Chains A and B, each alone.
Chain A
Amino acid sequence: MKYIEEFQDPELAQRLLDDIRATVTRPWALMEVCGGQTHTIIRHGIDQLLPDEVELIHGPGCPVCVTPLEVIDKALEIASRPEVVFCSFGDMLRVPGTDRDLFRVRAEGGDVRVVYSPLDALRLAQQNPDREVVFFGIGFETTAPPNAMTVYQARKSGIRNFSMLVSHVRVPPAIEAIMRSPDCRVQGFLAAGHVCSVMGVGEYPELAEKHRVPIVVTGFEPLDILEGVRRAVRQLEAGTHTVENAYPRAVRPEGNPAAQAMLADVFEVTDRSWRGIGVIPDSGWRLSGRYREFDAEQRFAVGGIQTREPAACRAGEVLQGLLKPHECEAFGTICTPRTPLGATMVSSEGACAAYYLYRRLELPQARVNAAAAGEASPVV
């Protein structure tokens, strides 16, 4: 119990753990969908506090990690143009494209800015009418409404020097794809709380029924995760598979209807390729016809992109829960946050970054020595 004192309410944490221990009778594999939850789990050692029977498999819910390499390369190309002010959330800065990242583009003279909100990018467009302001619109259902509102306002205010490079992704089709995979070991899901704050829980009963898996809407704090696990394990032991909301303080069953209406207006569902995973049908959003003129891909015809992933990177398997980050040969040796081979090593929600930040010291000594040797040779 080396971490439990660090919980906000250690007594409650202990009670939840005791309940899980008293309930569980055989092995179960649960997937936490969201990378933010993965970070909480690894940071607080929740996977190590849980009884051995309960395994947490880390899911693909890191928008930075799953943004396709081709889109990253397009972003780098657009950001390099002299007339462009390229705006992004901070997480994207160090995501490796085929041969550079946004940090490098900025060093080479590109005007790359980090914004807190997409509305900041729109304001930049208003203030700089002679520049083309492009916003990198990525994210799950939580981030899509802010980005949708920004495009809506650009159109309403007739701001023509603004556009968005859109690569939005949706959670339910990803759950569907994971359950269909022949290698799937997942028996229950902790669904991402803030996605459900927007979308509600209506998309999940069908998935739970069809695949006979419990789905528990779960928050991001250590106690939230324990409660989500507790409820999922109870269902698995009882042989039920319903949708439960373990995060009612931030999730209403209907979600946020105003945000959903905006999404339906500004975006339309499309097939989307996920980095390292491949195309998942209906798993993305792109700008709908009414807003197509704000699509940066159309405005800046970026073609002829040849993408190349480092052969050693196994982020695709990590994102599908088939491999734990430290099982990747490159982890902590040639791949570190300083020399990342995959986006999962630099995103604040990436599983490889979580293991590196909180678990690196648990690597076997042989690996650490190899890492020291690896430092000497430059890594591309």
Chain B
Amino acid sequence: MCLAVPGRVLRIEERDGTKMADVDFGGVIKEVCLEYLPDLEVGEYAIVHVGFALQRLDEESARRTLELFAGLGILQEEFGDPWEAAVAMGRTAGGAETGVEEVRR
């Protein structure tokens, strides 16, 4: 849950008086709040946690981290469907019926 993922700023705009950006995480685009890093510019990288840019990152290390995360399936875990993830977690226990799928709707 404390995972922070590096992303690259694609576009910046004010939305409802708040500085927001579209950020690219190795192909997944998310809306991110820039209020804590207001001078971040388009093309720069930052580490992003639950939709907030928290600290600048240089391009080289950001790319390496993204590569690693993609390889380990961490990007999928972070940006995939959380209900699916919870069901998958039940499945890792090895059983056919997880007891979790039944309660999905």
Contact = CB atoms under 8 A, between A and B. Distances in A.
B42 interface: no
Given A116-B30, A197-B55, A89 B95 contact: no
Given A143-B1, A194-B4, A221-B68, A346 B51 contact: no
B30 A103 contact: no
A106 B82 CA distance: 14
Given A106-B103, A146-B52, A338 B1 contact: no
Given A8-B67, A198-B54, A346 B1 contact: no
Interface string B47-81: 10111101101100100110110001000010100
Interface string A341-354: 00000111100000
Contacts of B85: 90
B5 to A, nearest CB: 10
A147 to B, nearest CB: 8
Contacts of B94: 336, 338
B37 A94 contact: no
Contact of B55 (A138, A153, A252, A375): A252
A337 B72 CA distance: 20
Contacts of A142: 2, 4, 49, 54
Contacts of B49: 142-143, 146, 194
A143 B50 contact: yes
Interface residues of B, number: 48
Most buried by B among A91, A250, A356: A250
B57 A258 contact: no
Contacts of B26: none
A250 B47 CA distance: 7
B1 to A, nearest CB: 5
Nearest to A63: B1
Contacts of A61: 2
Contacts of B51: 116-120, 146
Given A90-B82, A93-B82, A63 B2 contact: yes
Given A197-B55, A375-B95, A8 B68 contact: yes
A64 B94 CA distance: 24
B104 to A, nearest CB: 8
B43 interface: no
Contact of A103 (B16, B17, B72, B103): B103
B54 A256 contact: yes
Given A103-B103, A249-B61, A258-B38, 18 more contacts: A61-B2, A63-B1, A90-B86, A107-B103, A116-B30, A116-B50, A117-B31, A118-B51, A138-B1, A142-B4, A146-B33, A194-B49, A194-B54, A250-B57, A251-B55, A338-B99, A339-B93, A348-B77
Interface of A: 8, 34-36, 43, 61-64, 89-91, 93-94, 103-104, 106-107, 114, 116-120, 138-140, 142-143, 145-146, 149, 153, 156-157, 192, 194-195, 197-198, 220-221, 249-252, 256, 258-259, 262, 336-339, 346-349, 356-357, 375
Interface of B: 1-4, 16-18, 30-31, 33, 35-38, 47, 49-52, 54-55, 57-58, 61, 64-65, 67-68, 72, 77, 79, 82-83, 85-86, 89-90, 92-95, 98-100, 102-105
